[in-house]
A and B are shown apart, each in its own frame.
Chain A
Amino acid sequence: MLRYTFQRIVLALAIVFFAISALYTVMITLPGDPTTVLLGPRATAEIRADFRERMGLDNPVYVQIAQFWGRILTGDMGTDFNRNRPVAEAVLNALPHTMALVFGAIFWSATLGILLGAFSADNRGSWLDRISGVLSVAFIAAPSFVVALYSLLVFSVWLRWFPTIGAGEPGDIMSRLYHLALPSFAIGLAWVGYVARIVRASMLEALGENYIRTARAFGLPRRTVIYNYALRVAILPAVQVLGVGIGGMLSSAVFAEIVFSRPGLGSLIYDSVSGRNYPVVMGSMLVAIGFFVTCALIADLINAALDPRHRSKA
């Protein structure tokens, strides 16, 4: 288990390194120059050159990447030159909001998805199973910003059950959760569909296995057989999918944070990309990718904890 964890961590670090380096290259080659955006159209060539030099933008890309990693390793994420604050401060202020949003979405998709999937498999072929199948596909197909807009319209504007904008009062946990419910639901809904489909399929597979026949042959109650013996095996692929799905949820978070006017990594990335605010883009992307890789790692470890075969194989 220890060796397995170590291997996974090394792999995770490598993924972060390559992803960020590739991203840096792509960003540098984007059209549009930070000097134009920041200094305005009337800046002289000397001012621009001076700024480039100060920012290290005149170096070749690989040198810039090396410098970037050098700074990161010393704990310096650079300065947000739009607002003149450390990037770390901006990112660390935004991160908890996005984490809450993503974990909220995982909460919705895991609970609703597993329930829906297990229920469908248990009542295979019934009209409830068919309805849940259609719903799942609809959930997957609906783009999250559409879900976000409509849920805002229905639950906040018409029904007035949930607040429309913001992330709630700082320090008031209930207010935070209250503001979180709708955006996390909007992001999680598509994953409810995925998880339900996966759990249903793997549940049906598990129910056909010999060990389920054994459990029934020993007179275990139906509930134990289905929700313990079969579901224990059936949720494994769903955990894996949710771990990877955090990447998708992070990109949906960009929309949700804009639609619901929430602070967070998504809106920070959006603003900084449109402002060519490179240090903030890189800082927030680094944290976003790091967050994603960490979550995928945690999903792997959860899977290993749930599946003893997984543990000793590695």
Chain B
Amino acid sequence: MTAALQIDDLTVHYATREGALQALRDVSITVPEGKIVGVVGESGCGKSTLINALLQLLPENATLPAGRITLEGEDVTHASTRRLRQMRGQEMSVIFQDPMTSLNPVLSIGRQMRDIQYRQPGNRTEKDRRSANMLGRVGIPDPVGKLSAYPHELSGGMRQRVAIAMAALMRPRVLIADEPTTALDATLEVQIIELLKEIQREIGCAILFISHHLGVIAELCDRVVVMYAGVAVEEGPVEDVFLRPGHPYTIKLIECDPGRLKVRVADLPSIPGSLPDLTDPPAGCIFQDRCERATEICATPPPRAPQRPGHWAACHHSGPEGS
């Protein structure tokens, strides 16, 4: 069975004045049909690059030295511009992070939703009916009236619902969610998560859910990929990874999640040190400079050490206590 979205050894470099910045290195992610896969990582781990690479909307200074992205068996990395435009929004669509800026401020909601359907047959009335129908399904009151509304007339939560409606409009096979709840407050977050689950059940798409919020990932996803500085360091079923993390970075990340603190502390925990220089990354393990378990062997590329079935960590000393 082909996966809905398959990313193999994806490597992305940006040309900068200091040399090639290695934004992604050998990242492999598989999103099976109808499943939700989470990608978790802090700022700078390559989440945005990953999304832009999936859509083939990387900036001009980016190169793709290695890797392959396939969407339901079709190679995206070598697709023609024409074919890519057909895929975007129809077979693979995105919900962007900030609903306040991701909708065009001078065009009405209806116009923007109509434009997405420009390839579809049918006249304006039919397209508007389809848009209103989808707006209704994402829980927007008075969907027909909202077609003539402009983004600034809606609240943040409503705008994010519009963004979800736009992404789901063409019933894509793969939905990419780029931190869709980060800009929203906590109560809305839950609603949006529920909505995403519903939409996923309804149109049967696969979702690649990108977030730095561990709680949201745990709530929503089937599997999770942990990324650090452009490298996938651990992957496995969500519960397994969160309860029995194998990679020292994942362990630290979970420890640092403010959501799991039970008592009030003066300083929130953090990981000492900072991200490595991606124009000159260290040989071997990417996390070695900040890792408590680091030894000499970490200067060699870490293996994908199996933890439990379908769960691996790219570490020489993986496991709950290290080895």
Q: Which of A212-227 contact B (CB under 8 A)?
A: 213-221, 224
Cross-chain contact A210 with B102 (CB below 8 angstroms)? yes
Q: Which of B124-155 contact A (CB under 8 A)?
A: 150, 152-153
Give the most central of A217, A229, A308, A312: most B CB within 10 Å. Answer: A217
Residue of B94, B103, B106, B119 near A217 (CB, 8 A) is B94
Q: Does A50 contact B (CB under 8 A)?
A: no
For A214, the closest partner residue in chain B by CB is B102
State the CA gap A217–B102 with chains docked (Å).
Answer: 11
Cross-chain contact A217 with B55 (CB below 8 angstroms)? yes
Chain B residues whose C-beta falls within 8 Å of the C-beta of A42 in the assembled complex = none
Cross-chain contact A309 with B105 (CB below 8 angstroms)? yes
Q: A216-B88, A220-B115, A220-B116 are in contact. Are A210 and B152 (CB under 8 A)?
A: no
List 25 contacting pairs A-B, 8 Å CB cutoff, sorted by A: A209-B101, A210-B101, A210-B102, A211-B101, A214-B94, A215-B115, A216-B55, A217-B88, A217-B89, A217-B93, A218-B166, A219-B84, A219-B85, A219-B90, A220-B89, A220-B118, A224-B115, A229-B104, A229-B107, A233-B104, A236-B106, A308-B150, A308-B153, A309-B106, A309-B150
Q: Does A307 contact B (CB under 8 A)?
A: yes
Q: Does A306 contact B (CB under 8 A)?
A: yes
Cross-chain contact A211 with B102 (CB below 8 angstroms)? yes
Within the complex, the shortest CB–CB distance from B273 to chain A, in Å, comes to 31
Q: Does A85 contact B (CB under 8 A)?
A: no
Q: A213-B96, A309-B152, A312-B153 are in contact. Are A232 and B85 (CB under 8 A)?
A: no
Chain A residues whose C-beta falls within 8 Å of the C-beta of B104 in the assembled complex = 211, 214-215, 229, 232-233
State the CA gap A215–B108 with chains docked (Å).
Answer: 14
Given contacts A218-B166, A219-B89, A220-B115, 4 further A-B contacts (CB under 8 A): A211-B104, A218-B116, A219-B116, A219-B119
State the CA gap A214–B180 with chains docked (Å).
Answer: 13
Chain B residues whose C-beta falls within 8 Å of the C-beta of A214 in the assembled complex = 94, 96, 102-104, 163
Q: Which of A292-314 contact B (CB under 8 A)?
A: 306-309, 312
For A215, the closest partner residue in chain B by CB is B104
Chain B residues whose C-beta falls within 8 Å of the C-beta of A232 in the assembled complex = 104, 106-107
For B152, the closest partner residue in chain A by CB is A309
Give the most central of B102, B103, B166: most A CB within 10 Å. Answer: B102
State the CA gap A309–B153 with chains docked (Å).
Answer: 8
Q: Does B199 contact A (CB under 8 A)?
A: no
Give the most central of B101, B102, B104, B166: most A CB within 10 Å. Answer: B104
Chain A residues whose C-beta falls within 8 Å of the C-beta of B43 in the assembled complex = none
State the CA gap A210–B151 with chains docked (Å).
Answer: 13
For B100, the closest partner residue in chain A by CB is A210
For B94, the closest partner residue in chain A by CB is A217
For B57, the closest partner residue in chain A by CB is A216
Q: Does B86 contact A (CB under 8 A)?
A: yes
Chain B residues whose C-beta falls within 8 Å of the C-beta of A216 in the assembled complex = 55, 57, 88
Within the complex, the shortest CB–CB distance from B94 to chain A, in Å, comes to 5
Q: Which of A177-220 contact B (CB under 8 A)?
A: 209-211, 213-220
Cross-chain contact A233 with B105 (CB below 8 angstroms)? yes
Q: A218-B116, A218-B166 are in contact. Are A213 and B105 (CB under 8 A)?
A: no
Chain A residues whose C-beta falls within 8 Å of the C-beta of B3 in the assembled complex = none
Question: Which A residues form the contact surface with B (CB < 8 A)?
Answer: 209-211, 213-221, 224, 229, 232-233, 236, 306-309, 312
Q: Does B87 contact A (CB under 8 A)?
A: yes
Kindly supply a per-residue 1/0 record for chain B positions 73-116, scoring 1 wherever the CB is within 8 Å of any chain A CB and 0 otherwise: 00000000000111111100110101001111111100000011
Give the most central of A210, A221, A232: most B CB within 10 Å. Answer: A210
The 6 closest A-B CB pairs, nearest first, are: A219-B88, A218-B89, A308-B150, A210-B101, A219-B89, A211-B104
For B89, the closest partner residue in chain A by CB is A218
Within the complex, the shortest CB–CB distance from B256 to chain A, in Å, comes to 28
For A211, the closest partner residue in chain B by CB is B104
Kindly supply a per-residue 1/0 record for chain B positions 195-224, scoring 1 wherever the CB is within 8 Å of any chain A CB and 0 otherwise: 000000000000000000000000000000
State the CA gap A212–B84 with chains docked (Å).
Answer: 17
State the CA gap A48–B57 with chains docked (Å).
Answer: 81
State the CA gap A216–B96 with chains docked (Å).
Answer: 12
Cross-chain contact B87 with A308 (CB below 8 angstroms)? no
State the CA gap A217–B96 with chains docked (Å).
Answer: 10
Q: Which of B159-181 contact A (CB under 8 A)?
A: 163, 166
Q: A220-B118, A233-B106, A308-B150 are in contact. Are A213 and B57 (CB under 8 A)?
A: yes
Within the complex, the shortest CB–CB distance from B250 to chain A, in Å, comes to 30
Residue of B87, B103, B108, B153 near A211 (CB, 8 A) is B103
Chain A residues whose C-beta falls within 8 Å of the C-beta of B96 in the assembled complex = 210, 213-214, 217
Chain B residues whose C-beta falls within 8 Å of the C-beta of A229 in the assembled complex = 104, 107
State the CA gap A79–B322 with chains docked (Å).
Answer: 101
For A308, the closest partner residue in chain B by CB is B150
Within the complex, the shortest CB–CB distance from A314 to chain B, in Å, comes to 13
State the CA gap A53–B84 with chains docked (Å).
Answer: 83
Within the complex, the shortest CB–CB distance from A75 to chain B, in Å, comes to 42
Chain A residues whose C-beta falls within 8 Å of the C-beta of B108 in the assembled complex = 308
Chain A residues whose C-beta falls within 8 Å of the C-beta of B84 in the assembled complex = 219
Cross-chain contact A307 with B98 (CB below 8 angstroms)? no
Chain A residues whose C-beta falls within 8 Å of the C-beta of B57 in the assembled complex = 213, 216-217
State the CA gap A210–B183 with chains docked (Å).
Answer: 14
Kindly supply a per-residue 1/0 record for chain B positions 280-295, scoring 1 wherever the CB is within 8 Å of any chain A CB and 0 otherwise: 0000000000000000
Chain A residues whose C-beta falls within 8 Å of the C-beta of B106 in the assembled complex = 232-233, 236, 306-309
Give the most central of A221, A232, A308: most B CB within 10 Å. Answer: A308
State the CA gap A218–B166 with chains docked (Å).
Answer: 9
For B55, the closest partner residue in chain A by CB is A217
